Amino acid sequence: MAQVRKLIKFVRSGKTLPDLTATRGVVTMRLHMKILLACGAALTLPAYGAQDGCPAGSYSVVVSPDRTTLSILFDKFHIDTSTATSAVTAGAASKVCHILHSLNLPANMSLGVYKVDYRGFAKLASSQEASLEVQYALAPQGNEHGRVFRRKVKGVHEGDYIFTENIGAGQMKRIGCGIDAKLNVRIKLGLSGGADAMVSLDSSDGTTAAMVYHLDVKKCN
């Protein structure tokens, strides 16, 4: 993340961006994606992360310049039973991530969520199953104003999975108008059914955000 911040600062300075492939180490498409998104973002740095699915420095949160989308990218949110212990491969495995991110809304604006896109990758045999559970709310409101999204991917499957959650009017309360708005997200990724399986919350090429919140921003009355 520190390297990404330095590159963002360099781009915003107006200087010519050097050849990234010549930098130290291997520069992946994931890093390119983070730089391009962050250069125009209203806010790019994660506010808080915890648990084994998203250790510090392994994810980023990017808000678009017009505040209409919030994207979350992960580096290490995956489960791979091909390298796990025998106890895990015989049963089930899971990882959890908790992110609390400040939306930094102007005092005269309010915000709502009307759609969420989820993207990941799974490699599953016929008896194996991956699960995704996402609980989220616009803080400081409690869970009674939030939502829970659950989906499963069953084998045989090898490739990306994509889910879209459409949220109808009035199904999720808006936040803002002088209140400190935050997005509070808890994600659980699960895998069951034996060895040699894998699931991640991110696309296989690492260039697309794992989660995209589509936001409706309006002026307060």
Domain with 182 in it:
44-219
Please enumerate in sequence order all residues whose Cβ is within 8 A of that of 147, keeping only pairs 6 or more positions apart, or say none.
Answer: 135, 136, 137, 165, 167, 171, 172
Same domain? 11 vs 81:
no
Same domain? 61 vs 157:
yes
Same domain? 23 vs 95:
no
* CATH code of the domain covering residue 103: 2.60.120
Same domain? 210 vs 159:
yes
Beta carbons within 10 angstroms of residue 44's beta carbon: 19
Same domain? 23 vs 91:
no
Structure tokens given for 108: 């005269």
Over residues 36-53, the pLDDT tens digits come to: 344 333 333 334 444 688
Over residues 126-156, the pLDDT tens digits come to: 989 999 999 998 877 655 567 999 999 999 9
Whole-model pTM: value is: 0.74
Same domain? 9 vs 57:
no
How many structural domains compose the chain? 2
